[in-house]
């Protein structure tokens, strides 16, 4: 990719990471990702907003060269995670006159992780304004999207909110701009589920901050730039609201088919009564898909066999993720099969203590389910229906 003009003063100079398939050694990236970095040429000063992942630093420097950028006065760091900050030391070395503009929380992180010298920093606070001559940058603190130091930089004259991870999507694409593309919305939802969902309350506050700016453009640091900010803002409002949908997510593992029979029965029952249901065989599922299904669903039913008296390790993994991602799930069920006994509920429940959810009575079955067990599963379905109506 080459530098892309957004307007006469603002240019995208980031990087496309088309073939990256994993982030943080955890998060699948089926569509790759991008690291958006932006140059703003004011009449007096030039600013660079965020940088790129160290794996792609050559792309940023190539783009700066293409734009013939000889001098950078300010490097703005909206977020200290290394996919946006990792090459700041190299940028400061190439442009030694540049000051690193960020907030005090970010300064601590950047100093510790990247060993940036004290005299390079210019610290800003909420609502501070930095002049580039004919253009001004306003800094708006938007903490916990998704680290404590995150902030948004607002280019007032052009109405562009540079929000870094906030509103982003892991999507490498040749189309820098998006309007109302469902593909972008899906990737943004996946991104929200994986990265932002644990911080719903803070996100709600930060959405209000961004809305109060009334931006014409939201330019995040992953994925396309929104020319219609209402598109992504309204989606975020829905995802982060308390409103749930009558959907049932069933992450499951089955070793010898007993738990699979339970899951098949539940899925059929929910389908019969037209409750939307999402079964995921954990051992072959993309955890991003599971996370995405948790954004709106009212109900999660974990289904697991017993291994060494407790749940299957894959069930532990998903239960741990549920506790960490803190979706707005209202009801949690646990079903499964055992051979000679077990403590499945006792060990899984504490992992879900973070969630503000009601734990439904577990249904744990010895071996294959029989009629009495199917009757109990019917009662579980009836209870889920009643709670969702
Ligand atoms: Fe894209 Fe939190 O870094």
> Looking at residue 370, what is its pLDDT?
97
Tokens of 352: 């879900």
Average pLDDT on 344-348 reads 95
- Ligand 1 atom at minimal distance to the Cα of residue 168: 1
The pLDDT tens digits of the residues spanning 201-255 come to 999 999 999 999 999 999 999 999 999 999 999 999 999 999 999 999 999 999 9
For residue 24, how far is its CA from the centre of ligand 1 (angstroms)? 10
Average pLDDT on 51-80 reads 98
> Quick one: fold of 4-240?
Metallo-beta-lactamase; Chain A (3.60.15)
**Which residues is 10 bridged to in the sheet?**
40
- Ligand 1 atom at minimal distance to the Cα of residue 82: 3
SS3 168: coil
Average pLDDT on 110-114 reads 97
- Average pLDDT of the chain, as a whole number: 97
> Looking at residue 341, what is its pLDDT?
82
> Looking at residue 237, what is its pLDDT?
98
CB atoms within 10 A of CB 362: 18
> Looking at residue 373, what is its pLDDT?
98
Interstrand relation of 160-164 and 358-359 (parallel, antiparallel or unpaired):
unpaired
> Looking at residue 136, what is its pLDDT?
98
Closest to 247 in 3D by CA, of 271, 226, 221: 271
Residue nearest to atom 2 of ligand 1 (CA): 81
> Looking at residue 359, what is its pLDDT?
97
Residue nearest to atom 1 of ligand 1 (CA): 165
For residue 57, how far is its CA from the centre of ligand 1 (angstroms)? 16
pLDDT of 128 over the 90 cut: yes
Contact present, 287 and 321 (Cβ < 8 Å)? yes
Average pLDDT on 80-87 reads 98
Entry pTM: 0.96
Contact present, 328 and 244 (Cβ < 8 Å)? yes
> Looking at residue 218, what is its pLDDT?
98
> Looking at residue 342, what is its pLDDT?
83
pLDDT of 1 over the 80 cut: no
Torsion of CA 350, 351, 352, 354, to 10 degrees: 90
Average pLDDT on 160-189 reads 97
Residue nearest to atom 3 of ligand 1 (CA): 81
CATH architecture assigned to 245-387:
3-Layer(aba) Sandwich (3.40)
The pLDDT tens digits of the residues spanning 148-161 come to 999 999 999 999 99
Residues with CB under 6 A from ligand 1: 79, 81, 83-84, 146, 165, 221-222
Give domain limits for the chain. 4-240, 245-387
For residue 147, how far is its CA from the centre of ligand 1 (angstroms)? 9
For residue 211, how far is its CA from the centre of ligand 1 (angstroms)? 22
CA separation for the pair 6, 27 (Å, rounded):
30
Average pLDDT on 260-281 reads 98
Give the CA diameter of the chain: 79
The pLDDT tens digits of the residues spanning 15-29 come to 999 999 999 999 999
The pLDDT tens digits of the residues spanning 293-316 come to 999 999 999 999 999 999 999 999
- The Cα angle at residue 216 between residues 214 and 220, in degrees rounded to 5: 100
Q: What is the DSSP letter of 254?
A: -
């Amino acid at each position: 990719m080459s530098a892309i003009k957004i307007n006469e003063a603002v240019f995208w100079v980031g990087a496309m990471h088309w073939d990256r398939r994993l982030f943080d050694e955890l998060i699948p990236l089926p569509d790759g990702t991008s690291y958006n970095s932006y140059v703003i040429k004011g009449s007096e000063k030039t600013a660079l907003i965020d940088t790129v992942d160290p794996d792609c630093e050559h792309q940023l420097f190539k783009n700066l060269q293409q734009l013939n950028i000889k001098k950078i006065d300010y490097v703005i760091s909206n977020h200290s995670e290394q996919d946006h900050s990792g090459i700041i030391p190299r940028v400061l070395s190439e442009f030694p006159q540049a000051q690193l503009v960020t907030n005090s929380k970010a300064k601590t992180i950047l100093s510790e992780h990247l060993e940036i010298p004290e005299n390079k920093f210019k610290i800003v606070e909420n609502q501070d304004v930095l002049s580039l001559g004919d253009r001004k940058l306003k800094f708006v603190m938007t903490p916990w999207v998704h680290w404590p130091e995150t902030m948004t930089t607002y280019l007032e004259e052009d109405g562009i909110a540079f929000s870094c991870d906030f509103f982003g999507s892991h999507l490498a694409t040749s189309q820098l701009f998006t309007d109302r593309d469902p593909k972008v919305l899906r990737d943004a939802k996946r991104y929200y589920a994986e990265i932002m969902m644990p911080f719903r309350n803070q996100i709600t506050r930060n959405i209000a901050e961004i809305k109060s700016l009334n931006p014409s453009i939201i330019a995040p640091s992953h994925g396309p730039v929104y020319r219609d900010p209402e598109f992504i803002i309204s989606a975020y409002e829905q995802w982060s609201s308390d409103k749930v949908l009558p959907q049932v997510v069933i992450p499951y593992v089955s070793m010898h088919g007993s738990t699979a029979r339970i899951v098949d029965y539940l899925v059929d029952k929910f389908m019969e009564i037209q409750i939307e249901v999402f079964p995921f065989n954990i051992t072959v599922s993309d955890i991003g898909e599971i996370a995405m299904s948790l954004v709106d669903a009212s109900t999660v039913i974990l289904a697991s066999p017993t291994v060494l008296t407790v749940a299957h390790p894959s069930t532990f993994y998903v239960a741990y993720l549920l506790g960490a991602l803190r979706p707005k799930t209202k009801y949690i069920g646990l079903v499964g099969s055992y051979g000679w006994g077990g403590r499945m509920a006792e060990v899984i429940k504490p992992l879900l203590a973070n969630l503000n959810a009601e734990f439904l009575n577990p249904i744990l079955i010895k071996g294959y389910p029989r009629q009495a067990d199917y009757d109990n599963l019917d009662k579980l379905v009836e209870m889920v229906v009643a709670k969702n109506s």
